[in-house]
Chains A and B, each alone.
Chain A
Amino acid sequence: MSTNQPLPRIAVHSLTGCAGELLVILENLDKLLPFVHVTSFPFAQGKNEIRPVDITFVEGSVSQPHDLEKLTELRANTRWLVAVGNCAVWGCVQRAGCNHCSVQKMIDAVYGTNSPIEALPAAPLDHYVPVDVKLSGCPIDATQFLAVTANLLRDHLPYVTHKPVCLECKLKENGCVLIEKNLPCLGPVTAAGCGALCPSVGAACYGCWGPCEEPQMEAMATILSEKGYQLDEVLGRLQAFGAPKELFVRLEKS
């Protein structure tokens, strides 16, 4: 890139989430700053303009009308919209929560039946607007975030795969906790990217990166129930981090 060209502009925003991605981005900002101009990042700076930018990173799920308005505005002002984090890509735990309890019921319970407060069932960004790149993770992996940003800064689509956690687990040469310890590891149906963090410390993957490409949910449920886990508990675990209900249609019928 020639030096007299203006730096690509980026924006970092959050809807409803835990601010984890903001934190990851904030912590890696010193690496990004030489190559980008941050036009808005309300979590981190006082001066924020909403104007056309090259890349917008959005964290969080759409959980209220205000989120939706903001998302629509951000989409209209960016070349690339990147959903960062499980909340933005899948809807994370709050989406799973909406599976077993209606939002209106929750609002009524919290704020009373006539409350002016509005909420939407938690949903990932692509339920409402086109998303160019989805970078799952809970939180996202900083190395992957920087590599993906490097591609986007040159206007290139990044290579993001959704192979299962088991791959990374075996590449690290961990003993399998599903086999050796009978733990309910969800590695086989969860997207890799974290570096198989949980099995690497001898714990079961609980699916925080969301489902891998074409997860074999039925086979997973079969194998866990053979290990003595009740089917409803298995379903609860499989859905806890926002895996869409469609993946379980056949499973719930059986």
Chain B
Amino acid sequence: MKALNSGFVPIKGTLRSIVPMAQDNYLFQISVEDGSLSGCQPGQFIMLWIPGVGEAAISVCSGQVDGTLELCVRKVGRVTSALFQLEEGSFVGLRGPFGHGFPLDEYKGKDLCLIAGGLGVAPIRSLWQYVLAHRENYGKIILIYGMRHSIDLLFRQELRVLLRRHDIDVYIAAEEIVGPDLPPVPEQLGRVTDMIKLAPIDQNFQVAVCGPPVMYQYVIEELLAKNVRQSDIWLSLERHMKCGMGKCGHCFVGGKFACQEGPVFSLLELNLLPEVIECHRK
């Protein structure tokens, strides 16, 4: 066997545009030299590298990736803060795409419910862009998007457009109205679970979920109450990740590497150890 190239060498990317969306949440557009990311699927992620600082796992946020991709990032720590300091034209490194995204084949011909909590909207957005671009392949489409404060609403303009469409049912609610109102929706106040209760979801739906770790437990309960099958609930799990290649072990969850076999899993696939869904804040 001959020596291989290290999977740790990043692809060169250039920061093309930076669009503030909400406080500490920006949309970054990055162009990639060699087009090697063009096969990206909704739900997959890349490792974004800021030299000298480190890498962070970031979901691909645009439905289609050719020369450029979009990343929606929240400033929470070292790498993300360093990204926020960069200017247009800066160099960043990218590795990926990694993992299995949402099961697009499985979804074909079925009703879809996309559920996003907070920043979880990032991969969900790539999914809605994708399914809307291939609208004819799907049945009903419901989008549920909840957040803590209305001021944190991301993709405001895009959602306004979606709200006007008749081929997608959009539910948006915040737990509290802080700052500007939400776009015109019937119920502004509430949690994701309240919207699941309201929405006409039944056992024929395929459901895609992404949100903060605490959300999953409650969303699953609500969906099961609506008779959605475990095998039809698809969860995108956030785990600590260092390599993306099923080696560093940080994302190992219930017998699986989230980075390679996930981050999207069907509830049925997941070994129901407490640590898969439950989490603690310390």
A residues bordering B, Cβ < 8 Å? 150-151, 154-159, 214
Contacts and interface: CB of A to CB of B under 8 A. Distances in A.
A134 to B, nearest CB: 15
Interface of B: 50, 52-54, 77-78, 81-82, 85, 282
A56 B199 CA distance: 55
B77 A154 contact: no
A130 B282 CA distance: 20
B54 A154 contact: no
B52 A150 contact: yes
Contacts, number: 22
A-B complex: 3 closest residue pairs judged by Cβ atoms: A157-B78, A156-B53, A156-B82
Nearest to B85: A155
Contacts of A156: 50, 52-53, 78, 81-82, 85
A154 B78 contact: no
18 contacts: A150-B52, A154-B52, A155-B85, A156-B52, A156-B53, A156-B78, A156-B81, A156-B82, A156-B85, A157-B53, A157-B77, A157-B78, A157-B81, A157-B82, A158-B78, A159-B53, A159-B54, A214-B282
B78 A159 contact: yes
Contacts of A154: 52
A154 B53 CA distance: 10
Nearest to A214: B282
Q: Do most interface residues of chain A lie in helix, strand or loop, or is the interface mixed?
A: loop
A159 B52 CA distance: 10
A214 B280 CA distance: 14
A151 B81 contact: no
Nearest to B81: A157
Nearest to A154: B52
Contacts of A214: 282
Contacts of B50: 156
Nearest to B77: A157
Contacts of B81: 156-157
Nearest to A147: B52
Contacts of A157: 53, 77-78, 81-82
Contacts of B282: 214
A14 to B, nearest CB: 28
A157 B77 CA distance: 8
Nearest to B53: A156
A155 B50 CA distance: 13
A116 B50 CA distance: 54
B52 A151 contact: yes
Contacts of A150: 52
A151 B53 contact: yes
A154 B54 CA distance: 14
Nearest to A150: B52
Given A151-B52, A156-B78, A157-B77, 10 more contacts: A151-B53, A154-B52, A155-B85, A156-B50, A156-B52, A156-B82, A156-B85, A157-B53, A157-B78, A157-B81
A157 B82 CA distance: 8
A158 B282 CA distance: 21
A154 B77 CA distance: 15
A83 B50 CA distance: 25
A139 B53 CA distance: 25
Nearest to A157: B78
Query: Most A CB atoms within 10 A — which of B50, B53, B85?
Result: B53
Contacts of B54: 159
A158 B52 CA distance: 9
A155 to B, nearest CB: 6
A58 B190 CA distance: 48
Contacts of B53: 151, 156-157, 159
A156 B49 CA distance: 13
A151 B81 CA distance: 13
A50 B110 CA distance: 68
A137 B85 CA distance: 30
Contacts of A151: 52-53
A83 B82 CA distance: 21
Nearest to B50: A156
Nearest to B82: A156
Contacts of A159: 53-54, 78
